[in-house]
Each structure stands twice: as C-alpha cells, then as structure tokens.
Chains A and B, each alone.
Chain A
Amino acid sequence: MKIPMSVDTSPSSSRATVFVVDDDASVRASVQDLLESVGLHVYGFATTADFVLHLQTQPPVGPACLVLDIRMPGQSGLDFQKSMAQLGVHLPVIFVTGHGDVPMSVQAMKHGALEFLMKPFREQDLLDAIQKAINIDQAHRVQVSERQALQSQWQQLTQGEQAVVRGVVAGQLNKQIAADLGVSEVTVKVRRGHAMRKLQLRSVADLVRWLDRLDAF
C-alpha cells in the first residue's frame, strides 16, 4: 500500500491549518491524529462555539480549512455552515457525517460545502478533500491580499488624480478631460504624471490593465 508521507511540501501549504469540529471525542482525536501524521497543523473542537471562540483569539495565519461533523448536539454542522458568512468565517468546509442522506448533502453543497464524506471515510478521500480545500483557501488568500494591495495603491491617489485616470482609461484626450473636470490642460498633465508615478506604471496600456484588475474585484 502506497502511503504518501505528507499532503504537500510546497511552501504555500507548509503552515496549513485544519480545524476539526466533532462532538465525538474519539472520532475527533483520530481525525486529528491522521492529519497530524501527514504534517498538518490541527486544532480539534467539540462544539462550533469553541471553534468560533478560538478563531476570534487566534485567526489562522496561513491557509486553513474546516472539517465539520453534521450531527452534533446544540448547533448542527449545517446550521453553523449557514451562519459562517455572518460570523465572518470564510473557510472551505468538508462535511463528515455518520448518517448522510441525499437532501442533506444537496443542502450542504448548495451552501458551498467542498466535500461530503460518510463515516467511516477512506483516508485518501479525506486527505484529497483537505488538499483541495487548502489550495482553494490559499488562492482565496492571495486574491484577497492582491485586492487589498491594489486598493491601497488606488487610495494613495487624490480624488483629482483618480478622476484623470478614469478619463485617460476611457480614451479621452487631455483637452477633453480638462474640459470635463473644469481644470486647465496643464493640471491634467501634472495629475496624470503623478498618478503614473504613484502606481509605478509606464504606459497608458499598463494603466488600462491595472484599472481593469482593480475593477474586476
């Protein structure tokens, strides 16, 4: 039997964290043990409330995902999944359940669950799902930080400069922009130069592409 030594050794997932929420202490411990044996960083919780409390004090630094039991006393896994967005928890979810049925899995998938595994699950299924979840979360994190970078750059421009950039990208001549904004053509040229410098861009084509990326988010 082939046993891969770890899920992934690439630097992107080296600090990957998996949260396991299952009320059954023994199932939780076994999943935690399995994931630790492949080199993942694992936190186990008996209730979703404990998990949320942990997130508030110690949000994950690297990519992370959540392995969630559906049937739990108190708040069920499905209910928690629905309230995750409200709580500001954006993690890929892998459901595990002892007694899944089709409507239940459909409901889970509709709310964006990544995988729905029946206990007892094949380890490879769980590890594959976790790998996928970690990758998704990683991509999500990259996207978020990229967006934040673009936005903070954009915020460095003054409102006048932003207006000029919008005009340039819309294909207007300096003269037209000046007329629209009610300023002199020289002012437009100065603002345009400032904006290009702040955004560290060389050509109008670069500027168009840059603004496209910002608007895409």
Chain B
Amino acid sequence: MGMLKYSDRWRHQGWWLGMAVLVAVIAWVDTAMEQAVAAAVLYTLLILLALRKLSPRGVVAIMGICVLLTLGSCLWSLHSATPVGWINTIISLLAIVVTAYLGLRMKVAQSKAQAAQERLMQLTRVSNVGALGASIAHEVNQPLASIVTSGNACQRWLAQQPPQMERAHLALQRIQQEAVRASNVISRVRGMAKGDAPQLECVPLAPLVSEMMGLMQSSFDSQKIKVDNQVPTDMPDVWVDRLQLQQILGNLLLNAMDAVQTARERSVNLDALPCISVSAHVCSERQVQLTVMDTGTGLVPAVSEHLFDAFWSTKPQGLGLGLSLCRTMVEAMGGQIWAENRSDGVTGAQFHLSLPLAPETSS
C-alpha cells in the first residue's frame, strides 16, 4: 500500500514537472525565436494536457498563466530585433482561450453523461423496487380500509331500530366491490412479478462483464475501489438472458461496492486493498461458474442464512429484494446462485453464479 502511494505521488510530481518544462520551452521559443511566428499557439498543448488531469478551475488557472506569458513575451519582444507582432499574439490568445472554452464545455458534457449513466444504474438496481412496494401497499390498503369501514357502517345500519336495510345493503355492495378491487391489484402485481420468460441466447461472458464494469466505473472510481475483470476472453459463450444477467451482475457489483464501503466505515479489513474482482471458469461440461469477490465485511452465519430470502436486508434502506430476485432470475435461466466467505485468507465475500453453456459448445 505504501508502495502504491509512493508511486502515485511520484507520478503526480512528474506530471507537474513535465508541465513546467513545457511552459518553459514554449515561452522560450515564443520569445527568443528569430522568426516572428505565433509560437504561443503551442500553449494549447498545455491546455489540452490540463483538461485531462485538472478540475475546471485548474484549467482556467493554466489558461490564465498561458495568456499572461503570451502577452508578456509579446511586450518583451517589442523592444527586441524580432517583435512577435500583435496579430500573431491575438491569434495565439484566441487559440488558447477557444481551446480552453471548448475543452471545458466537453468536460461538462462528459460529466453530465456520466451522472446520467449512474442514475440509470441506480434505476436498474432492484432495491428501487422500494417505491414500487410502497405504491402496491397503498393500492391494497385503500380497498381494505374501505372494506373495514363499510363493514362497521353496515353493522350500525342493521343495529338501528328499525334496521336500515337499504343503507346496510349499499354498504355490503361497496364491500364486495372493494374486495374485487383489492384482488385485482394483487393479480396485477403477480403478473408483474412473474415477468416474461427469459429470452435465452448465446452471450459471450467477458464482454458482458467488462460492459457492466464500464457502466459502473465512475462509481468505483469515486469510491476509490479497484475493479478487476479476470474473465478470460476465450471463455465459451453462455446460454442466458442477456438483460437479466446484466441486472444480476449489476446487483452483485453494487452489493460488493456497498460491502467494501461498509468495511471502510467500520474500519475493518484495512490491510486489504479495496478491490472487487470478477472471475469465471468452466466448472463442468455444461456449466460456467462466474464469481464476484469483494474485500468487504464478509458474511456472518446469521446473515448468510437469510441472504436470498425476500424482504430480508442488512441495509437500513434496503428492501431485501435484490438477491431474492437475482436468485429467481438465475434459476429461471437454469443456473444457480450461492455465496460464501473468501477462502484465500482475505476478509470478504464471494458470490458464485453457475450458468449454462451455450448449446453449440456444450455438445
């Protein structure tokens, strides 16, 4: 870990040193060259480098320095034998400012695209079923409330002297209607939960994993978690529903990320580098095993017992549906999912998926 920090710092210092050398060279060329050319245009190189590494504010600062240097060398060269000339200077300044402006615009657009992607990931996250759950609960609760209250009213109409049969009858009618309404909600939910049968197809595993990791790269980066795709590119294709496998993998990766984050918050497992790795191997004639491994808090027996139960969660905001739905989806594709602690001495969990091989390669 110390090694890494050291090399990081070295690289950082090297970058600034390179920038400084570049500035010096360009300034020297701009000022001292015999020909009156717009050498200051080369400052755009600095801007482009800065855009890759620095925050927008840093880029603006670098731009300011470049503008000042350009103006300075123009003024300085006025008194020398080969003045740079105002036209050249203005061309250089324009190039510097326009490059910085366009570069920053692009950066903003990129970060917006990244944010949108993260939101998309969050949406696909199955725990967002939370909102759905609350809405279903409301949908069922309304008719139930009406049934209970109507039942009370009906009793009261009947208890009156003389009994108000007409009103009691109306209340009963409402009870029937509402019971039908509640059962309609339930059957709608059931239809939704069952979903469509998985669309099985030949899917190459390695690209799917790297695609998913790419989608979540920015989240991993912001939490400073290393991700490692160890799926061999020559893996045989698997026979799965592409979309569902993406959802399952996305869910496992998000869980792993949460686990690493939790470990960090509780200051456990500090001697391991925060890392999530995905690996795969052919485990039998007909099956591939995909493994997602993290350096999180690991699984205690009380947790692993209920891991795949519906509505069971260790997370305060969790609805406890993520892994339960994952299991349903994996099993519908003819695979299995299970979890255990890492066996390599490092604290952390590993989740295994067994997936059927595509027919061509299995025969």
Measured CB to CB, the residues of A under 8 A from B are 1, 3, 5, 24, 26-27, 29-31, 33-34, 36-38, 71, 96, 98-99, 119-121, 123, 126
Residues of A close to B138: CB separation below 8 A: 71, 98-99
Residues of B close to A98: CB separation below 8 A: 137-138, 141-142, 145
Residues of B close to A30: CB separation below 8 A: 145-147, 149-150, 153, 171, 174
Q: Once the chains bind, are A37 and B160 in contact (CB under 8 Å)?
A: yes
Please tell me the size bucket of the interface on B. 20 to 34
Q: Kindly report which residue of chain B lies nearest to residue A4, judged by CB atoms.
A: B156
Q: Once the chains bind, are A119 and B142 in contact (CB under 8 Å)?
A: yes
User: What is the CA–CA distance of A158 and B160 in the complex, to the nearest angstrom?
Assistant: 58
Q: Kindly report which residue of chain A lies nearest to residue B141, judged by CB atoms.
A: A98
Q: B199 interface residue, CB < 8 Å from A?
A: no
Question: Least Cβ distance of B172 to chain A in Å?
Answer: 11
Q: Once the chains bind, are B167 and A33 in contact (CB under 8 Å)?
A: yes
Question: Which 10 A-B residue pairs are closest in the complex by CB-CB distance?
Answer: A119-B145, A37-B156, A120-B148, A30-B149, A120-B145, A34-B153, A123-B152, A33-B153, A30-B150, A98-B141
User: With A71-B138, A99-B134, A99-B141 given, is the CB distance from A3 to B146 under 8 Å?
Assistant: no
Q: Once the chains bind, are A120 and B156 in contact (CB under 8 Å)?
A: no
User: What is the CA–CA distance of A119 and B140 in the complex, to the nearest angstrom?
Assistant: 11
Interface hits, B150-209 → A, CB 8 Å: 150, 152-153, 155-157, 159-160, 164, 167, 170-171, 174, 177-178, 181
Q: B144 interface residue, CB < 8 Å from A?
A: yes
Q: B236 interface residue, CB < 8 Å from A?
A: no
Question: Least Cβ distance of A58 to chain B in Å?
Answer: 24
Q: Once the chains bind, are B174 and A120 in contact (CB under 8 Å)?
A: no
Q: Kindly report which residue of chain B lies nearest to residue A32, judged by CB atoms.
A: B153
Q: Kindly report which residue of chain A lies nearest to residue B149, judged by CB atoms.
A: A30
User: What is the CA–CA distance of A98 and B146 in the complex, to the nearest angstrom?
Assistant: 11
Contact of A34 among B156, B160, B164, B181 (CB under 8 A): B156
Q: B143 interface residue, CB < 8 Å from A?
A: yes
26 A–B contacts, CB within 8 A, in A order: A1-B155, A3-B155, A3-B159, A5-B156, A5-B159, A24-B146, A27-B149, A29-B146, A30-B147, A30-B149, A33-B167, A33-B170, A33-B174, A34-B149, A34-B150, A71-B138, A99-B138, A99-B141, A119-B141, A119-B144, A119-B145, A120-B144, A120-B145, A120-B147, A120-B148, A121-B149
Question: Least Cβ distance of A82 to chain B in Å?
Answer: 22
User: What is the CA–CA distance of A1 and B158 in the complex, to the nearest angstrom?
Assistant: 13
Q: Once the chains bind, are B177 and A37 in contact (CB under 8 Å)?
A: no
Residues of B close to A126: CB separation below 8 A: 149
